[in-house]
Structure 1
Amino acid sequence: MTPKPAGPPDGGWGWVVAAAAFAVNGLSYGLLRSLGLALPDLAEHFDRSAQDTAWVSALALAVQQAASPVGSALSTRWGARPVVMVGGVLTSLGFVFSAFARSLLHLYLGLGVLAGFGWALVFAPALGTLSRYFSRRRVLAVGLALTGNGASSLLLAPTLQFLLDTFGWRGALLLLGAITLHLTPCGALLRPLTLPGDAPAPPRGPLAALGLGLFTRRAFSVFALGTALVGGGYFVPYVHLAPHALDRGLGGYGAALVVAVAAVGDAGARLVCGWLADQGWVPLSRLLAVFGALTGLGLLAVGLVPAVRSEEGWGGPLLAAAGAYGLSAGSYAPLVFGVLPGLVGIGGVVQATGLMMMLMSLGGLLGPPLSGKGLSQPVRSQPSSAPGVQAL
């Protein structure tokens, strides 16, 4: 039996776990952000609206978050390592299945349900395991891991556009299936860690494994509800930024640049905010309130882009809005997960992560498609390079 240390090691193998969580985050949320580049090709191929194709990303996001408590429960029962490895296989199979899709329904099932469920098995267990390895530098470690989606977006956005141009959307999805299979070795790096405060035996019943008892804690319930409301708008720009850029005539690589600018701002803000939070100068709750408000302002900036015109076209305002939103949203993310151990204790952090993401799933499911409802009759300033894709 592994001896119980006095507390989280705050380093050592924890940095390997941080690297694994970085890759997991990049191959889940980072890939989801870049997936918007493929939506115009899907809309054109299946002759469907932007609102219909937006459900592909929205379903994947919603299933990933709604099923996160399942990943947490399985991780609590059998450990994070095997659960994340299985999740990597399921995600890869979802992309491979979708590469042979004959209708949008097949994409809903492949990317939305199968890949989404695979992602549900990897994110919460990986991030929860990382939180157990750190105490004093926990928010910095979480922020470092969460920069994975920013770095991944920066690399995957131009790469995915190149794959779409070279191999078409079917070939691109097939290659993404091979890339997401790397989630499996990431799971193998999640060495289990036993800490004081852990239950002497894993919970047996399904309700206990899901951690539903955490909702009896008022502080966690209020926090989870607030995070769910934020989720209604948080993911909208990442789904629609690329199609909007394409619709305004920026071209495939121009759209990839918009995603990359948001990714750079996001990744940098997560590191800086994680470091700032660990200094203890300002309480985490106050930082969370401030950066939550800034995220709302960043979302407003993105929403005002269609009302702004310039002589150079739409590129400058859109790039500025994408960068501003990346900075604000990136600052908010590590704080959300960093406060959980203080709310539920280190023993319940994996389950709390899954439950919180489940509540965010409603916003993640409804936000992007409802925001695309206004795309039906766009005002075009110039011909679009993506037929069937309409403006945000």
Structure 2
Amino acid sequence: MRKLSSGEKTYTHVHSAHSTHAPDGGWGWMVTFSSFVISLFVDGLSFTFGIFFPEFLTYFGESKGKTQLLHSLLWGTFFSLGPVVSILVNKYGSRLVSSAGSVILSVGIFLSSFSSNLEMMIFFYSIVGGIGFGMLYLPSIVIIGVYFERKRALATGIAVCGAGVGGFVFAPLSEFLLEEYSWRGTLWIISAIFLNGVVVSTTFRPLKYQSQTRGNNKINSSSHKITSKNSNLSRRRLCLSCHDMFDFALLKSPTMLLYGASCFLVMFGLFIPTNFLPAHASDVNLSASEGARFILIMGVSNTVSRVVIGYITDKPWANSLIINSILLIIGGGATCCVPLYTTSANLIIYSVLFGAVIATFICLRSILMTELLGVHRLNSSFGLASLSMGLSTYFGSPIAGALSDISGNYNMAFYFAGITLALGGTICLPLRRISEWEKSRSFDLSTSLSLSCNEETIRESKSGSSSIYIISESCRTAV
């Protein structure tokens, strides 16, 4: 991986209490496989929505923009739950949260098959299913960062390449099931498949240091009760507990805010090609099977690219931020040109390229947040990034659908997607410098507060004040 700057080394030293020894193998590879399977489930359904889209349009008889709400609200709910799922994972652990998410997702998809109108379908398929998606997926990605350090990029690449496999497995499977059992029967079968997430989530067992940390917290809590009688202490412990569950300081981090803005822009356009490419293929007189084949090819490219990107970014010379930005900019430009692609060969080339773009953005999210913000903030930062992605996902596909309704074709939808993808990649370019500045500033502030608190504690100790514990505790929290 990339060498640390002096500012990053200093920041790492200050926050060494947050660092832990990752196994970098062993059971971690079983965890990686389970995360791979969950990515296969989640993204398999997402990438094949374009195959279901004509069926839903015909059955419900609604506009393209309104029907696209099914997909946008599914992913908007999924991503928007990021901070909430982060808190749940910190409280109950990845295993329990992920298992509960699998059950909720399966029930939501199954009940959606009985929908008599689009509104009911949106509630069960998009809202309930989105809640299940969020609870199932986020823990499976975050736990990779816990089990791996030196091989984190490779393990993450392997785990998230399940999304690409899901694309080329679910595309032909969905097409076959739709022909045999209609969309209702297809959803029954898919809901049963998703229930297997309960089984794979059982591998997400916590590492020993996590239980030790919880034990230390209990000891400290008992000690606090004995050493202080101040009535404000219980409120302070409550605030510290909330702070432990979620890092609210990230809301003021320039690095987090800028990366969140990039995710916001990218997610406006990321799902538009997968949702509209089969329909565009039909408009240029290609068959429905060819349209499904483009999604399959995108899935294959997605899978291979995730492993390749994970392997490359583990190299000392690789800069994951530059790789992410350049591919997003290239992918945005290629998406703007989709209306010009009228032959099967052109659309195959585009599908390969865009599969690599999806792989890069998804694979490098946790890697970038670990490099820029630290592994000890990964859970909270991943949750916030998911929230920003969810907010734009709510509107991206419906806006593209509305533009298609107005223009009578899908050209404006692809222009919109391409511009937002390219902008999202462009604003990431200065993130490394901003992160280094923020870490250096954090170290200077921490050093200053530490010295100030030590002086204050000494003065209070000499004066025999009974509030020394309160001051020390406040200083620890501030630093």
Aligned partners of 1:72 and 1:210 also within 8 Å = yes
Determine the structure 2 residue equivalent to 1:385. none
Query: Which of the residues 394, 399, 414 maps onto 1:370?
Result: 399
The amino acid that maps onto 1:65 is F
Are residue 316 (structure 1) and residue 345 (structure 2) matched? Answer: yes
CA RMSD between the two structures: 2.5
CA shift in 2, pair 1:192/1:211, >3 Å? same
Query: Which of the residues 315, 329, 346 maps onto 2:358?
Result: 329
Q: 2:102 & 2:130 partners in 1: Cα distance?
A: 11
Query: Which of the residues 316, 331, 342 maps onto 1:298?
Result: 331
Determine the structure 1 residue equivalent to 2:422. none
Aligned partners of 1:9 and 1:134 also within 8 Å = yes
Deviation of 1:23 after TM superposition, in Å, equals 0.9
The amino acid that maps onto 2:257 is S
Q: Deviations over 1:78-110 (max 9, x none)?
A: 101011000000000111111101011111111
The amino acid that maps onto 1:301 is A
CA shift in 2, pair 1:151/1:201, >3 Å? farther
Deviation of 1:194 after TM superposition, in Å, equals 4.2
Q: Deviations over 1:59-81 (max 9, x none)?
A: 10100000122111101001010
Q: 1:36 & 1:379 partners in 2: Cα distance?
A: 16
Query: Which of the residues 47, 59, 65 maps onto 1:33?
Result: 47
Alignment of 1:209-288 (within 5 A): 209-283=245-319, 287-288=320-321
Structure of greater relative contact order (alpha carbons < 8 Å, 6+ residues apart) = 1
Aligned partners of 1:270 and 1:334 also within 8 Å = yes
Query: Which of the residues 97, 106, 109 maps onto 1:83?
Result: 97
Greater alpha carbon shift after TM alignment, 147-156 vs 289-298: 289-298
Determine the structure 1 residue equivalent to 2:137. 123
Determine the structure 1 residue equivalent to 2:113. 99
Aligned partners of 2:400 and 2:413 also within 8 Å = no
Greater alpha carbon shift after TM alignment, 54-63 vs 293-302: 293-302
Q: Deviations over 1:353-378 (max 9, x none)?
A: 11111111122222111122222253
Are residue 347 (structure 1) and residue 376 (structure 2) matched? Answer: yes
The amino acid that maps onto 1:69 is P
Q: Deviations over 1:299-329 (max 9, x none)?
A: 33233222344xxxx3222222111111223
Deviation of 1:207 after TM superposition, in Å, equals 6.5
What's the TM-score, normalizing by structure 1?
0.88
The amino acid that maps onto 2:333 is L
CA shift in 2, pair 1:184/1:244, >3 Å? farther
Alignment of 1:112-261 (within 5 A): 112-195=126-209, 200-201=216-217, 209-261=245-297
Greater alpha carbon shift after TM alignment, 338-347 vs 154-163: 338-347
- The runs of 5 or more residues in structure 1 that have no matched partner are 381-389
- The runs of 5 or more residues in structure 2 that have no matched partner are 1-17, 219-236, 415-479
Deviation of 1:248 after TM superposition, in Å, equals 3.8
Q: Deviations over 1:139-166 (max 9, x none)?
A: 1110111101100111000000111111
Greater alpha carbon shift after TM alignment, 206-215 vs 113-122: 206-215
Q: What percentage of aligned pairs have identical amino acids?
A: 26
Of the two, which has the highest radius of gyration?
Answer: 2
SS of corresponding position for 1:292:
helix
The amino acid that maps onto 1:344 is L
Q: 2:409 & 2:149 partners in 1: Cα distance?
A: 52
How many residue pairs get matched? Answer: 373
Aligned partners of 1:66 and 1:359 also within 8 Å = yes
Deviation of 1:334 after TM superposition, in Å, equals 1.7
Aligned partners of 2:19 and 2:376 also within 8 Å = no
CA shift in 2, pair 1:122/1:211, >3 Å? farther
Higher helix share: 2
SS of corresponding position for 1:281:
coil
Deviation of 1:208 after TM superposition, in Å, equals 5.1
Deviation of 1:349 after TM superposition, in Å, equals 1.5
What's the TM-score, normalizing by structure 2?
0.73
Q: 1:214 & 1:254 partners in 2: Cα distance?
A: 45
Q: Deviations over 1:181-233 (max 9, x none)?
A: 11111211111124489675499655753432322333233222222222222
